[in-house]
Structure 1
Amino acid sequence: MARDSRVPQATVLLSGGIDSAAVLALLKSQGMQVRCLFVDYGQPAAEQELVASSSIASHFLAPWSSVSISGLKVPANQEIKGRNDLLIAVATSCNQDAVIALGTHAGTPYVDCSITHHHAWQDLYDVQYSGVQRLLTPFIERAKPEVFALARELSVPISLTYSCEASGGPCGVCVSCKDRSALDDVSNPRV
């Protein structure tokens, strides 16, 4: 299927989690032509994330591809320093789209999920691509519950998403599992 060059195009870094799935749904709802990219950088949950990412892209009828990077030492259940830098750089190298979209959101302690980080990447893009390339982080000022609410509003298939940093999860103890558990409690209050 040929892409219409008159319609805005974006590459979504689709990890298979709720945040990136919501970015995909949001951009599609805004009429953008979206393709999805999954990056396997040796993370423990790569296999589960890949399945979720592919399934979500298929649900939204979005072209999907994956890239594998080997040789990185990825710690289990710890911050992966430079992870979003790696993902953005890979997406930029793999696609010619003028927009790279990432599901970072407010409320995380990680520098690479901050507005400052977003601006630094945009500044780099402006130097390297003369202002043509854009990094899109539509949830950078929204907390996780707001992203989850939007995902539900946009009919993101939550059951297809994967939110655990461990292989074979959900482990119930990692940051992603705790976030997911809190969201489940909000969306399914106990009586």
Structure 2
Amino acid sequence: MLPSDAQINLLLGGGIDSSALIAFYLARGATVRGIHFNYGQPSLDGERRSILALSQHYAIPLTTVDLGLSIVSAQGEYHCRNATLLLAAASIFPAKQGRFSIGIHSGTSYYDCSKIFMADIQRIFDGYFGGCIQVEAPFLEFTKADIFNFCTLAQVPVELTFSCERRGDFPCGQCSSCLDRRILHESS
């Protein structure tokens, strides 16, 4: 159980991973605050609909920030995205100590979804904040199927989530996020 005054600043993208983290932390007694960024992603409209619905469902405060930039996607991977978003979240955080969480998981080859990345980004945060800000990724060793199973057990409203990398109006059905989601739904 987390301390009763534990506040988690959760990076919300509107997908299954970050949505599951809301339930994960609330079940542990934490106060959850959502943060969502516009970084020029094509899926912005769908993400915003999802995070607004999820923040209402769970009654958590939500901050949305327009970064004023566009992170370029190279074959579906946004280089430096997770580091950029974590550092941006910390830069708007008013307190001198706290906890940030991100919904990265195993099963990908991306550096910014790895244990090495988490250790590296924590070292950067330690340099800036003297060890007073912690970065967490509770699902780091979970597969996508593990997260989906957690959603089922925790009754996460998956129907409110949005998972597409290419479109914001409705899922394209062909990107890796759409394919993951289809496979998970078909296997359940």
* Interval containing the TM-score (normalised by the shorter chain): over 0.9
Cα offsets for 1:137-187 (capped at 9, x unmatched): 000011110011111211110000001112233111101001101110111
Q: Which runs of 5+ in 1 are unaligned?
A: none
How far apart, in 1, do the equivalents of 2:128 and 2:89 lie?
15
Q: Could you say which residue in structure 2 is the equivalent of 1:51? A: 49
Deviation at 1:85, TM superposition (A): 0.8
Report how many aligned residue pairs link the two structures.
183
Question: Which stretches of structure 1, 4 residues or more, deviate above 4 A after TM superposition?
Answer: none
3-state SS, counterpart of residue 148 of structure 1: helix
Amino acid at match of 1:169: F
Q: Could you say which residue in structure 1 is the equivalent of 2:111? A: 111
How far apart, in 2, do the equivalents of 1:154 and 1:52 lie?
18
The TM-score with structure 1 as length reference comes to 0.91
Cα offsets for 1:111-159 (capped at 9, x unmatched): 1011100010111122221211100100001111001111121111000
Q: Could you say which residue in structure 1 is the equivalent of 2:13? A: 15
Deviation at 1:20, TM superposition (A): 0.1
3-state SS, counterpart of residue 105 of structure 1: coil
Amino acid at match of 1:84: N
Q: Could you say which residue in structure 1 is the equivalent of 2:185? A: 184
Q: Which runs of 5+ in 2 are unaligned?
A: none
Q: Could you say which residue in structure 2 is the equivalent of 1:148? A: 148
Amino acid at match of 1:80: Y
> How many percent identity over aligned positions?
34
Q: Could you say which residue in structure 2 is the equivalent of 1:27? A: 25
Q: Could you say which residue in structure 1 is the equivalent of 2:92? A: 94
Q: Any conservation in 2 of the 1:77–1:174 contact (CA below 8 Å)?
A: no
Q: Any conservation in 2 of the 1:10–1:101 contact (CA below 8 Å)?
A: yes
How far apart, in 1, do the equivalents of 2:17 and 2:71 lie?
25
The TM-score with structure 2 as length reference comes to 0.92
Q: Any conservation in 1 of the 2:33–2:60 contact (CA below 8 Å)?
A: yes
Amino acid at match of 2:121: W
Residue 126 (structure 2) pairs with residue 126 (structure 1): yes
Cα offsets for 1:55-99 (capped at 9, x unmatched): 111111100110012232533862110010111011111223610
How far apart, in 2, do the equivalents of 1:76 and 1:108 lie?
15
Residue 85 (structure 2) pairs with residue 84 (structure 1): no
Cα offsets for 1:15-50 (capped at 9, x unmatched): 100000001110111000110011010100101101
Cα RMSD of the aligned pairs, angstroms, is: 1.5
How far apart, in 1, do the equivalents of 2:179 and 2:127 lie?
39
Amino acid at match of 1:148: F
How far apart, in 1, do the equivalents of 2:133 and 2:31 lie?
16
Amino acid at match of 1:32: A
